[in-house]
Amino acid sequence: MIIAIDGPAGSGKSTVAKRVAERLGILYVDTGAMYRALTHKAMEKGLDLKDEAALINMAKDTEIELVLDKNNKLTVFLDGRDVSAHIRTPELTNNIRYVAPIPGVRREMVKMQRRAAREGKGAVLEGRDIGTVVFPDADKKFYLDADFQERVKRRHKELVEVGMNVDLINIKEDVERRDKSDMERKTAPLRRADDAAVIDTTKLSIEETVEKILSCL
Protein backbone atom coordinates (compact mmCIF):
# COMPACT_ATOMS: atom_id res chain seq x y z
CA MET A 1 0.00 0.00 0.00
CA ILE A 2 1.31 3.44 -0.95
CA ILE A 3 -0.15 6.56 0.64
CA ALA A 4 0.83 9.97 -0.76
CA ILE A 5 0.61 13.08 1.41
CA ASP A 6 1.48 16.42 -0.18
CA GLY A 7 1.10 20.02 0.92
CA PRO A 8 2.91 23.27 1.66
CA ALA A 9 5.31 23.99 4.53
CA GLY A 10 3.51 24.03 7.86
CA SER A 11 0.44 22.15 6.68
CA GLY A 12 1.13 19.46 9.29
CA LYS A 13 2.27 16.80 6.81
CA SER A 14 5.32 15.46 8.63
CA THR A 15 3.80 14.71 12.02
CA VAL A 16 0.60 13.43 10.49
CA ALA A 17 2.35 11.20 7.93
CA LYS A 18 4.60 9.75 10.60
CA ARG A 19 1.62 8.88 12.83
CA VAL A 20 -0.40 7.41 9.96
CA ALA A 21 2.55 5.18 9.04
CA GLU A 22 2.94 4.15 12.65
CA ARG A 23 -0.76 3.29 13.04
CA LEU A 24 -0.68 1.20 9.85
CA GLY A 25 2.68 -0.41 10.64
CA ILE A 26 4.20 0.67 7.32
CA LEU A 27 7.23 2.77 6.35
CA TYR A 28 7.40 6.55 6.59
CA VAL A 29 9.36 8.39 3.90
CA ASP A 30 10.05 12.10 4.49
CA THR A 31 11.08 13.23 1.00
CA GLY A 32 11.73 16.79 2.19
CA ALA A 33 14.48 15.39 4.45
CA MET A 34 16.13 13.98 1.30
CA TYR A 35 16.19 17.38 -0.44
CA ARG A 36 17.50 18.83 2.80
CA ALA A 37 20.31 16.25 3.07
CA LEU A 38 21.33 16.85 -0.53
CA THR A 39 21.39 20.63 -0.01
CA HIS A 40 23.54 20.05 3.07
CA LYS A 41 26.02 18.08 1.00
CA ALA A 42 26.22 20.82 -1.64
CA MET A 43 26.84 23.49 1.00
CA GLU A 44 29.41 21.37 2.80
CA LYS A 45 31.29 20.76 -0.43
CA GLY A 46 31.18 24.49 -1.15
CA LEU A 47 29.50 23.93 -4.53
CA ASP A 48 28.21 26.88 -6.47
CA LEU A 49 24.45 26.47 -5.90
CA LYS A 50 23.80 27.92 -9.34
CA ASP A 51 25.90 25.23 -11.05
CA GLU A 52 23.20 22.78 -12.12
CA ALA A 53 25.56 20.26 -13.72
CA ALA A 54 27.64 20.02 -10.54
CA LEU A 55 24.51 19.55 -8.42
CA ILE A 56 23.20 16.80 -10.72
CA ASN A 57 26.54 14.98 -10.64
CA MET A 58 26.58 15.20 -6.88
CA ALA A 59 23.01 13.84 -6.66
CA LYS A 60 23.97 10.85 -8.83
CA ASP A 61 26.73 10.05 -6.39
CA THR A 62 24.68 10.32 -3.19
CA GLU A 63 22.98 7.78 -0.93
CA ILE A 64 20.39 8.99 1.54
CA GLU A 65 18.84 6.68 4.08
CA LEU A 66 16.00 7.51 6.48
CA VAL A 67 15.69 5.54 9.71
CA LEU A 68 12.81 5.90 12.13
CA ASP A 69 13.50 4.60 15.64
CA LYS A 70 10.92 3.17 18.01
CA ASN A 71 10.34 6.60 19.58
CA ASN A 72 9.41 7.92 16.12
CA LYS A 73 12.59 9.94 15.82
CA LEU A 74 13.88 10.25 12.27
CA THR A 75 17.59 9.91 11.57
CA VAL A 76 18.86 11.01 8.18
CA PHE A 77 22.01 9.34 6.86
CA LEU A 78 23.86 11.08 4.06
CA ASP A 79 26.41 8.73 2.49
CA GLY A 80 26.39 6.78 5.75
CA ARG A 81 26.78 9.83 8.04
CA ASP A 82 24.08 11.07 10.43
CA VAL A 83 23.27 14.64 9.31
CA SER A 84 19.93 14.97 11.13
CA ALA A 85 21.14 17.80 13.35
CA HIS A 86 22.24 19.95 10.39
CA ILE A 87 19.41 19.89 7.89
CA ARG A 88 16.81 22.19 9.45
CA THR A 89 18.68 25.46 9.83
CA PRO A 90 17.10 28.56 8.24
CA GLU A 91 20.16 29.03 5.98
CA LEU A 92 19.88 25.52 4.57
CA THR A 93 16.10 25.74 4.25
CA ASN A 94 16.55 28.90 2.22
CA ASN A 95 19.09 27.22 -0.07
CA ILE A 96 16.84 24.27 -1.01
CA ARG A 97 15.22 26.50 -3.61
CA TYR A 98 18.42 26.31 -5.70
CA VAL A 99 18.65 22.52 -5.52
CA ALA A 100 15.06 21.18 -5.60
CA PRO A 101 13.87 22.77 -8.88
CA ILE A 102 16.60 21.10 -11.02
CA PRO A 103 15.03 18.29 -13.12
CA GLY A 104 18.19 16.12 -13.08
CA VAL A 105 18.39 16.37 -9.29
CA ARG A 106 14.71 15.49 -8.91
CA ARG A 107 15.15 12.43 -11.16
CA GLU A 108 17.77 11.04 -8.77
CA MET A 109 15.67 11.87 -5.70
CA VAL A 110 12.55 10.25 -7.17
CA LYS A 111 14.52 7.04 -7.88
CA MET A 112 15.72 6.97 -4.29
CA GLN A 113 12.24 7.68 -2.94
CA ARG A 114 10.64 4.88 -4.96
CA ARG A 115 13.34 2.48 -3.82
CA ALA A 116 12.89 3.49 -0.17
CA ALA A 117 9.10 3.08 -0.36
CA ARG A 118 9.36 -0.40 -1.83
CA GLU A 119 11.52 -1.71 0.98
CA GLY A 120 8.58 -2.48 3.26
CA LYS A 121 5.10 -3.87 2.83
CA GLY A 122 3.81 -0.37 2.26
CA ALA A 123 4.72 3.27 2.85
CA VAL A 124 3.42 6.71 3.62
CA LEU A 125 5.39 9.26 1.63
CA GLU A 126 5.14 12.97 2.27
CA GLY A 127 6.38 15.86 0.17
CA ARG A 128 5.31 18.15 -2.63
CA ASP A 129 5.08 15.89 -5.70
CA ILE A 130 4.28 12.45 -4.31
CA GLY A 131 0.77 12.14 -5.74
CA THR A 132 1.67 13.88 -9.01
CA VAL A 133 5.14 12.50 -9.87
CA VAL A 134 6.69 10.02 -7.44
CA PHE A 135 3.66 7.71 -7.09
CA PRO A 136 0.91 8.87 -9.47
CA ASP A 137 -0.70 5.43 -8.92
CA ALA A 138 -0.66 5.67 -5.11
CA ASP A 139 -3.51 3.80 -3.43
CA LYS A 140 -4.59 6.93 -1.59
CA LYS A 141 -3.61 10.59 -2.03
CA PHE A 142 -4.09 13.47 0.37
CA TYR A 143 -3.38 17.16 0.02
CA LEU A 144 -3.01 18.91 3.38
CA ASP A 145 -3.36 22.66 3.62
CA ALA A 146 -3.86 25.33 6.29
CA ASP A 147 -4.22 29.11 6.48
CA PHE A 148 -0.98 31.00 5.94
CA GLN A 149 -0.84 32.50 9.47
CA GLU A 150 -1.42 29.11 11.04
CA ARG A 151 1.35 27.56 8.94
CA VAL A 152 3.75 30.32 10.01
CA LYS A 153 2.86 29.74 13.66
CA ARG A 154 3.47 25.99 13.34
CA ARG A 155 6.85 26.41 11.61
CA HIS A 156 7.89 28.83 14.35
CA LYS A 157 6.85 26.39 17.08
CA GLU A 158 8.69 23.50 15.36
CA LEU A 159 11.94 25.46 15.18
CA VAL A 160 11.68 26.78 18.74
CA GLU A 161 11.12 23.20 19.91
CA VAL A 162 14.41 22.08 18.39
CA GLY A 163 16.15 24.94 20.19
CA MET A 164 16.44 27.45 17.36
CA ASN A 165 16.23 31.13 18.07
CA VAL A 166 14.15 32.50 15.20
CA ASP A 167 11.65 35.31 15.04
CA LEU A 168 8.21 35.23 13.54
CA ILE A 169 8.98 37.81 10.83
CA ASN A 170 11.79 35.66 9.42
CA ILE A 171 9.59 32.57 9.47
CA LYS A 172 6.84 34.45 7.65
CA GLU A 173 9.28 35.43 4.92
CA ASP A 174 10.67 31.90 4.76
CA VAL A 175 7.23 30.30 4.36
CA GLU A 176 6.25 32.90 1.76
CA ARG A 177 9.45 32.34 -0.22
CA ARG A 178 9.07 28.57 -0.01
CA ASP A 179 5.43 28.61 -1.12
CA LYS A 180 6.47 30.64 -4.11
CA SER A 181 9.45 28.47 -5.01
CA ASP A 182 7.55 25.17 -4.43
CA MET A 183 4.48 26.22 -6.39
CA GLU A 184 6.04 28.16 -9.23
CA ARG A 185 8.91 25.92 -10.28
CA LYS A 186 8.57 24.30 -13.71
CA THR A 187 9.42 20.74 -12.71
CA ALA A 188 7.09 18.95 -10.28
CA PRO A 189 5.57 22.06 -8.69
CA LEU A 190 3.49 21.67 -5.56
CA ARG A 191 -0.08 21.11 -6.62
CA ARG A 192 -2.96 18.92 -5.61
CA ALA A 193 -3.24 15.74 -7.70
CA ASP A 194 -6.68 15.59 -9.33
CA ASP A 195 -7.57 12.49 -7.34
CA ALA A 196 -6.23 13.70 -3.97
CA ALA A 197 -8.53 14.35 -1.01
CA VAL A 198 -8.00 17.85 0.40
CA ILE A 199 -7.85 18.28 4.16
CA ASP A 200 -7.79 21.78 5.63
CA THR A 201 -5.89 21.31 8.90
CA THR A 202 -6.18 24.93 10.14
CA LYS A 203 -8.60 24.03 12.90
CA LEU A 204 -7.71 20.36 13.26
CA SER A 205 -5.37 18.79 15.80
CA ILE A 206 -2.76 16.27 14.65
CA GLU A 207 -4.88 13.41 16.00
CA GLU A 208 -8.02 14.66 14.26
CA THR A 209 -6.14 14.88 10.97
CA VAL A 210 -4.71 11.38 11.43
CA GLU A 211 -8.18 9.99 12.16
CA LYS A 212 -9.60 11.71 9.11
CA ILE A 213 -6.96 10.13 6.89
CA LEU A 214 -7.40 6.68 8.42
CA SER A 215 -11.16 6.90 7.96
CA CYS A 216 -10.66 7.47 4.22
CA LEU A 217 -8.60 4.29 3.74
Give residues in contact with ligand DC (CB under 6 A).
Answer: 9, 31-32, 35-36, 96, 100, 127-129, 178, 182
For the CB of residue 31, give the shortest distance to ligand DC in the complex, in Å. 4
Q: How many CA atoms lie within 13 A of 24 on its CB side?
A: 23
Q: Which is nearer to ligand DC, 129 or 145 (CB)?
A: 129
Q: Which is nearer to ligand DC, 173 or 215 (CB)?
A: 173
Question: How many CB atoms lie under 10 A from the CB of residue 63?
Answer: 10
For the CB of residue 103, give the shortest distance to ligand DC in the complex, in Å. 12
Which letter does DSSP use for residue 139 in this model? Answer: S
Long-range contacts of 57-65, Cβ-Cβ distance < 8 Å, separation of 24 or more: 59/104, 59/105, 59/108, 59/109, 60/108, 62/37, 62/38, 62/108, 63/112, 64/33, 64/34, 64/37, 64/38, 64/112, 65/116
168 CB-contact burial (10 Å; exposed 0-12 / middle 13-18 / buried 19+): exposed
Q: Which is nearer to ligand DC, 162 or 215 (CB)?
A: 162
For the CB of residue 137, give the shortest distance to ligand DC in the complex, in Å. 17
> Torsion-angle region of residue 198: left (phi > 0), alpha (psi -120 to 50) or beta?
beta
For the CB of residue 39, give the shortest distance to ligand DC in the complex, in Å. 8
For the CB of residue 6, give the shortest distance to ligand DC in the complex, in Å. 8
For the CB of residue 61, give the shortest distance to ligand DC in the complex, in Å. 20
Question: How many CB atoms lie under 10 A from the CB of residue 164?
Answer: 12
Q: Which is nearer to ligand DC, 25 or 206 (CB)?
A: 206
Q: Which is nearer to ligand DC, 201 or 215 (CB)?
A: 201
Q: Which is nearer to ligand DC, 103 or 215 (CB)?
A: 103
